[in-house]
């Protein structure tokens, strides 16, 4: 079994030593706008601004003292980088993050602020990945795949324990997908706690690799053109895709503009600052009335790391 419910329960013992549960609120004005009962799970309030911290802590906790001494290496431009840097620092483990040369300087600075070393190299994330692999080999460090690492799935699954213990009668649970760690863990938890609840994935139509891989039943590469960072992947990841194949009820695509509209609605109707990826689930609810009208739905606001340019763009809708 790739990920069991027991793995997620064990991860909760780790996560709860470091982080309180996050709030989940319902906003009647948002319900009215969405035409559904919407519970918003607030992972944007995590210390690194996103749910991935749960996975980072679970991974570092599981590493042996020997492995910790050798350190961690990963490749990412976004929240996975911050999560691994934060968790590595907490456990006193050296951490190196490889980012493409043109990475957003604010993101590199955020990672450095957690004490990690940042290596800027290559034209894209694939090139950064190759460099990270060589670096990990040379250092003897643990190379952490953002998608194919079971401890990360177990850790992020704790978020779905919190949601489904609070609202076991949900009709639908809507999860934004990049590599698919969050959505795949959600299906494992839902099967156990709320078998009637359908787990729905959402990705940007401009970066549909996970969506297309799930529909095709095989790992695919796709153009990666979304401006929504957390959802920007160019390929399907094997481990989450295996789990999603068995457990995901449906997978929807939304446009980047629809995501922007949902971000604005979270700001005005739920006093919540979401980054694009954190609003994608709500974007699906707003644009697929046939699926969601009058149902009880949870949407995960997975993160709030919107930078200044993203905030400016929200202020001037297309």
Ligand X SMILES: *Cc1c(COP(=O)(O)O)cnc(C)c1O
Is position 177 an interface residue for ligand X (rule: CB under 6 A)? yes
CA-wise closest residue to 25 among 7, 43, 9: 43
Site residues (CB under 6 A) for ligand X, limited to 105-124: none
Find the shortest distance in angstroms from Cβ 176 to ligand X. Answer: 4
Whole-number Å distance between alpha carbons of 87 and 141? 15
Number of amino acids touching ligand X (CB under 6 A): 18
Find the shortest distance in angstroms from Cβ 70 to ligand X. Answer: 25
With vertex at residue 254, the alpha carbon angle to CA 210 and CA 5, rounded to the nearest 5 degrees, is: 45
Q: Name the one range near ligand X by CB under 6 A: 59-67, 114-122, 127-135, 177-185.
A: 177-185
On whether the CB atoms of residues 131 and 119 are closer than 8 A, the answer is: yes
Is 28 or 223 the residue whose CB approaches ligand X more closely?
Answer: 223
Q: Name the one range near ligand X by CB under 6 A: 12-20, 97-105, 272-280, 290-298.
A: 272-280
Is 182 or 247 the residue whose CB approaches ligand X more closely?
Answer: 182
Residues 6+ apart with CB under 8 A from 195: none
Separate counts of helices (H) and strands (E) for the chain? 15, 10
Candidates 56, 122, 150, 182: give the one binding ligand X (CB under 6 A): 182
CA-wise closest residue to 142 among 84, 203, 100, 101: 84
Is position 303 an interface residue for ligand X (rule: CB under 6 A)? yes
Is position 155 an interface residue for ligand X (rule: CB under 6 A)? no
Is position 179 an interface residue for ligand X (rule: CB under 6 A)? yes
CA-wise closest residue to 153 among 281, 3, 17: 3
Candidates 56, 71, 78, 150: give the one binding ligand X (CB under 6 A): 78
């Amino acid at each position: 079994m790739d990920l069991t419910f027991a793995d997620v329960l064990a991860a909760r013992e780790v996560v709860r030593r470091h982080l309180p549960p996050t709030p989940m609120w319902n906003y009647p004005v948002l319900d009215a706008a969405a035409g559904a009962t919407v519970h918003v799970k607030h992972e944007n309030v995590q210390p690194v601004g996103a749910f991935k911290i749960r996975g980072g802590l679970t991974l570092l906790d599981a590493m042996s003292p020997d492995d910790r001494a050798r350190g961690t290496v990963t490749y990412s431009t976004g929240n996975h980088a911050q999560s691994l840097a934060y968790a590595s620092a907490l456990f006193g483990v050296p951490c190196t993050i490889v980012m493409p040369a043109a990475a957003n300087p604010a993101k590199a600075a955020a990672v450095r602020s957690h004490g990690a070393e940042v290596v800027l190299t290559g034209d894209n994330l694939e090139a950064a990945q190759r460099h990270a692999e060589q670096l990990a080999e040379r250092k003897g460090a643990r190379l952490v795949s953002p998608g194919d690492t079971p401890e990360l799935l177990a850790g992020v699954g704790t978020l779905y324990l919190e949601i489904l213990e609070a609202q076991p009668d949900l009709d639908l649970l809507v999860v934004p997908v990049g590599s698919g760690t969050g959505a795949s863990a959600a299906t494992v938890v839902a099967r156990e706690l709320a078998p009637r609840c359908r787990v729905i994935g959402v990705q940007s139509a401009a970066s549909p690799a996970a969506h297309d891989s799930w529909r095709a039943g095989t790992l695919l590469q796709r153009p990666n053109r979304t401006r929504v960072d957390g959802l920007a992947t160019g390929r399907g990841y094997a481990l989450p895709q295996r789990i999603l194949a068995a457990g995901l009820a449906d997978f929807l695509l939304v446009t980047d503009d629809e995501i922007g509209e949902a971000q604005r609605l979270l700001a005005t109707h739920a006093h919540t600052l979401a980054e694009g990826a954190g609003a994608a689930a709500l974007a699906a609810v707003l644009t697929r009335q046939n699926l969601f009208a009058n149902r009880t739905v949870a949407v995960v606001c997975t993160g709030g790391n919107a930078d200044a340019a993203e905030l400016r763009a929200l202020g001037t809708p297309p």
